Amino acid sequence: MRILVTGVTGQVGHDLLAALAPLGEVVGVDRAQMDLASADSIRATVRQVGPSLIFNPAAYTAVDRAESEQELAMQVNGVAPGVLAEEAARIGAALVHYSTDYVFDGSKRCAYTETDPTAPLGVYGRTKLAGEQAIAAAGCRHLILRTSWVYSLRGRNFLTTMHRLACERDELRVVDDQHGAPTTSAEIARASAALAARWLGTGARDAAAGDAPADGVYHMSCAGSTTWCGFARAIVERLPAIAAALGGPPPRHRPTVTGIATAQYPTPARRPANSVLDNAKLRAASGVALLAWEDALDALLAAPQAVSARAAAT
């Protein structure tokens, strides 16, 4: 099976390369090889690669910048997934696409299920929701995996930003009234590969899970929940391990972490106060479950290289 993976310079795209290797021949493409802002580029790449399975983790992910780059964000997040899905339908390929907890407005008191009404608060969430709808309308076999608060040891994300700030400051003031589940890209990649294998019938089926998972939307985040401040505290507690995993010198001190309200940290984009995702549908349909968020963080730090290998072995 030939598998096309987009966005391989991103967190999830990078980890998918290793995780999907046991499933078939993986062809990863970056922005230069397939620009999601161009329908022609998408069509040309899909036609050239000729995959039977496509993973699309590539996205316009700059939540605040999207407020002032609405057109580009909509092209990449809202229009491109539909073009990919049309191409997939044309050649009989299946599509696995990633979406976000920010399709919800955060007003629910408990975890969001796949059937809860969507009501994005910002441009990013609106464009990602448009992408979900475009895929559903295109008629190809598809999975839409909504995840949350993605981080890894690569690039710019909450973990690497907090580590940098912790090295510079004595106090970190972090929003304590937005609730969600930090999720490692390694866990997403591992779970995605296991789910796809069961979906397409190429992997061992979980006896308790019964039939192959149906097409549609699934929530896929680490178990449990916290606030950005709670996540920052967990990061600060693990600073020496994080410095070692990032290949930097050990921290000279441990800063204090102070919780603040969202109103004290204004941003261009509004974010949901609660975007915890309920993963019960994923578990029931496929037997696939992600680690608790603290355990995923520890797993990432315990063996930064081995996480990719574990993903590949799933």
Where are the alpha helices (H) located in 21-147, listed in sequence order?
39-49, 70-73, 80-91, 123-138
* Tokens matching residue 183: 């999720």
One residue of 17, 66, 73, 76 binding ligand NAP per CB under 6 A: 76
Asked if 55 interacts with ligand NAP (CB under 6 A), we say no
Shortest CB 69 distance to ligand NAP, Å: 11
One residue of 100, 127, 184, 308 binding ligand NAP per CB under 6 A: 100
Given the rule CB under 6 A, which of 6-14, 45-53, 82-90, 297-305 is the region that contacts ligand NAP? 6-14
Shortest CB 5 distance to ligand NAP, Å: 10
Q: Which is nearer to ligand NAP, 118 or 148 (CB)?
A: 148
Mode of pairing for the β-strands spanning 226-227 and 179-180: antiparallel
One residue of 5, 12, 49, 162 binding ligand NAP per CB under 6 A: 12
Asked if 150 interacts with ligand NAP (CB under 6 A), we say yes
Widest pairwise Cα distance in the chain = 57
Q: Which residues contact 211 (CB under 8 A, 6 or more apart)?
A: none
Q: How far apart are CA 255 and CA 239, in angstroms?
A: 10
HSE-up (13 A, CA, CB side) for residue 313: 5
Shortest CB 100 distance to ligand NAP, Å: 4
What is the Cα 129 distance to its own chain's centre? 14
Q: DSSP strand E in the chain: where?
A: 2-5, 25-28, 53-56, 94-100, 141-147, 150-151, 171-175, 179-180, 183-184, 216-219, 226-227, 256-260
Asked if 279 interacts with ligand NAP (CB under 6 A), we say no
Given the rule CB under 6 A, which of 2-10, 106-114, 200-208, 233-241 is the region that contacts ligand NAP? 2-10
Shortest CB 257 distance to ligand NAP, Å: 20
Active site residue 60: no
Asked if 58 interacts with ligand NAP (CB under 6 A), we say yes
Query: Rule CB under 6 A: which residues touch ligand NAP?
Result: 7, 9-13, 31, 34-37, 57-61, 76, 98, 100-101, 128, 147-150, 155, 185
Q: Point out the residues that are catalytic.
A: 124
